[in-house]
Each structure stands twice: as C-alpha cells, then as structure tokens.
Amino acid sequence: MKRLFSVTVILLFFLFPGFVQAQQGWEPMNPNTTTKKFSTLLFLIDNYYMDTVNMPQLTEKAIVATLKDLDPHSVYISKKDVERANEPLVGSFEGVGITFQLFKDTILVIAPVPGGPSDKAGIMAGDKIIKVDGENAFGPKITNNWVMKHLRGKKGTKVLVSIYRKGVKGLLDFTIVRDIIPLKSLDAAFMLNKTTGYIKLNRFARQSVEEFNQAIDSLKRHGLKNLIFDLRGNSGGYLSTAQGIADEFLGPKKLIVYTEGAHSPRQNFYSSRTGNFENGKLIVLINDGSASASEIVSGALQDWDRAVLVGRRSFGKGLVQRPFRLPDGSVVRLTIARYHTPSGRWIQKPYNHGVDAYYRDLEERMKHGELIHPDSIHFPDSLKFHTASGRTVYGGGGIMPDIFVPWDSARYDMFYSELIRKGAFNTFVNDYLNNNRKKLHKKYPLIQNYIAKFNFSPSLFDIFLADARKAGVRIDTVALQRNKNFLKLQIKALIARDLFNQDAYFAVMAPMDHGIQKALDVMQNDAVFKKLKIQE
C-alpha cells in the first residue's frame, strides 16, 4: 500500500452548486475601493438606515453575491452548515447508526450500521421507530430534518427509542448510546466472475484510499486479476485522495495531476513506489456525473494508457477549491487554481454564459444527441493532446471515454419514475420482507444462493402491480412489457440490499447494467487493449 504525499493545504475537488459570471479585467487591491469601502457601507447602514437591519444576514448575502461573480464552484457555507457540508468528505458523524427511510410518515429502519450503537442495542432491519425520547415519531411532521435533529447527537449521549416490531406485542424500548458513525465512500466491491472484480466509489473522502485497498485485498483473495472501477456519478472529493487512488494503479514517479493559479505556483503530484493494482486489466466507468476528482483519476489513467475508459463524457470540472474559515466560523470554499491532467489537458467546461447555462449543460448534451450518439461531440484541434503512447485525447469540457455507452433512455421512462415517486418499490419490498424475512434468510444464507435461485413468480409480480395501483400509479402497459424484466430485477436487488448489504444490490443489478456489461465485453477483447496500447 502506498503512502500519500503530504500537502501543505487541503484542496477540495467536489461538485457543489454555485454561481458563475466571468470576471472581466483585473485591478490591484486598493483598500479605498474595496475593504474600506465595504466596511464603511456596513457602518453607515448599521448607524443611519431608517430601520433596524440584520447585519450578519446582510453580510452573508453580500458574500454570496460576490462569489457569484467568480466561478460556479466558489461557495459560501454558513457556520451552522459547515459540519454537515464536511460530513461526506470527512467520512463520519455522531449519531445512532441506522440507515432509514420515511415510509408512510414513519421512520423505517432499513438496516443498523454493523457494529454501530443501534446494532449493539438490538435494533433490527424492518423495525419502525414510533417514539423518540417519549415524543411521537410519526405523522406529517416527520421529515429527514426531524429525524436528523432527534437521532443525531454528541458521542456518549443517550436517546430512548420505542420500536414497533412485527410479531411482537406492544412497543419495545431501547436506550441507544450515540457514537461516531463512519460514512462509507465505497458502495460496492465484489467479483463479477472468477477473475474480474468490481469496485464502485461514490466520492473521494478522507478514508477512501483505505477502503479501496481493503476492497482490493479482499477481491485478490477471491481471485482478482482484472478490475472494473466504477466512477459513474462520483462528483469528487479531496485532491489527496484522488492522488492516492490513482497511485494504486500507476508505477513510480508518474505525474498524476498538476495545479496552477495566479496566486498558486504550479504544483506537481506524482505516484510513489508501489501500488496495489499496478498489473492487470483495468476498465474505468465514467459518465456525465463523474466530476472533479473522478476526472483527475480517469484522466491520469487515460493519459498513461493504464486503463480503458468506458461510458460517456464526464462533467468537466477542472477547478481546485480550498476552504478558508471566516471569523464567525463560516467557510468560503474558494477556487484557487486550475488542475491539468498529465498530458496538459484542462477539462473545465465553459462557464462564461451564466449559472443557468452552466448547469443546463446536461440538458444541452441530451438535446444534441450526445448521450445517445458520440459522433455529435466535436473537439477543436486546439484542444488536442496525446497520451504516453501517442493516442489523441482532448481537453475542454470533460474526459471523453475510449468506448462509448449510450444512455438507456427507454428504461428510465415516466412509468418507472412514477413507481419510484409513489413509493411502489418500497411498499412492496417492506411488506414482503416483513412477512418473509426469516424464511428468506434460512433459504438463502449466502448472496450467491439468492442471486442464483430467487425468482419472481407471476403472482408475486401481480401483487407488486396491485400495490402500485393502490399508491396511485397509472400502469403503462407498453412500458410495463418493455421493462418488466428490469422492474423484477430492481425489486430483487432491493430485497437483496435489505437481506444482505449494499454489495448485494449492485451484484443483482449487474446483468442489466449496460456499462458493466459493456466493460465485461471489452475485458474479454484483447484486441481493444492492444489497439488502445493499454498497459496491463
């Protein structure tokens, strides 16, 4: 396992909503026209304005308005939101440790975090939380924010929950001692066949390199020779983590990324001595939701001809953020530099037409047919670069994959969306597991047994459709016939997630995941690796 290089500042690569307006021209900092001018204005408002004014709120609005004039990813985070904003990257929070969903105005436990406070207290999947510290925990008032407010809390504090459990008379009371709860950045890691493993990373958090290496070591014990690394929908994270993940695939002293800005001299980030997966076929899955740190990793692996990139053009974020703490504890995540791939590519998409245009980019890609046909994408010669072997790649507007996989628009139609929106899947899965959980555990002790042998009977699927109708879903018979197998697989996967773990969901869905299936086809085609001059 490699050690990460130490860096003097923590840089962030994360996709946050922001605002954009190209800054025209440059003038040196003059206190009389900047800081003194603004502080004088605030003084005048506070002392002479006709009404009383919330000065801290006014200052926050001024900060937000100022950042709007910079780039899409320089953002302000108020003091009260700082901790919550950092959770996905820091990788932990303090609370009771459950995965839950709001089901019919009730808190339904999907699963306790293994080894967490709720797990230790005896909370089980399928339990419904009826009271929290004596207060009713059901009805219209129950929102995600309500749950967070009542169940999260400082390590060592206690919370009393009253649980309804099917088959047990009355409510069960549990006292849970809150603790630090880890947030996993790795969604899944399992073997797709005897030699090919699959790892899906949802963000580049502080602990991601450790999680990744644990997954690699586990897969190696199960015969791992080749790897499909899924970065679809991964919107970014820490630069140091992106460096560390890329480092596991590359040989020593190879440039992974470099950053540069007006006030940030060029800084190069290299691979170190040994990596955990330097040898073996490697395919990286990307799409339009792969941004920032995902683009650093995929761009570096493409530039060094280490991996075949499969999927669709990535988001296109080539800007580096650094957090700066303000006097009241709030934070500004300020763009301080641009990052470039090893070949010199800057893959930031344009942001000089305003925030709406910037975030409508995906809609424009769809209109132009890019999500279906890669031929609709055209890069100018001025953005042409070359990989280590001399292959042509392009900068500007994201990372273009080597092998294109079109968006499956037919599958994710309005009928499927309505089934999700009306809670049809959750209703069926929860009711089915309430009645069959013990029997399923006994019949399918291992996920492999479940994947191979669990099948939907026509009568069971009819019950699902009946539940959907009760929930107000209009059954689209054409869409139903077109996607029936996919819908059945989705339900099977959701049951598997509850019975086993998150890995199980992705393992069940893999046969109908076009990206994974395309990657498996490419993995078996040595000619593709040879044509692209990919190092194995």
Q: Looking at the annotation, which residues are catalytic?
A: 292, 317, 321
Percent helix, strand and coil across the chain, each to the nearest 5: 40, 20, 40
14 DSSP β-pair partners: 236
Nearest Cα to 213, choosing from 240, 179, 181, 249?
Answer: 249
User: Do 11 and 336 contact (CB within 8 A), yes or no?
Assistant: yes
Residue 451 CA neighbour count, 13 Å, CB half: 15
**Cα-based torsion angle of the residue sequence 322, 323, 325, 331 in order, rounded to the nearest 10 degrees:** 130
DSSP 376: G
Which helix (H) or strand (E) is 176 found in, with range?
strand 172-177
CA–centroid distance for 313 within its chain = 17
User: Do 194 and 223 contact (CB within 8 A), yes or no?
Assistant: yes
* Burial category of 396 from C-beta neighbours within 10 Å (exposed 0-12, middle 13-18, buried 19 and up): middle
User: Do 197 and 253 contact (CB within 8 A), yes or no?
Assistant: no
- What would the two tokens of residue 289 be? 């939701």
Nearest Cα to 349, choosing from 324, 304, 375, 379?
Answer: 379
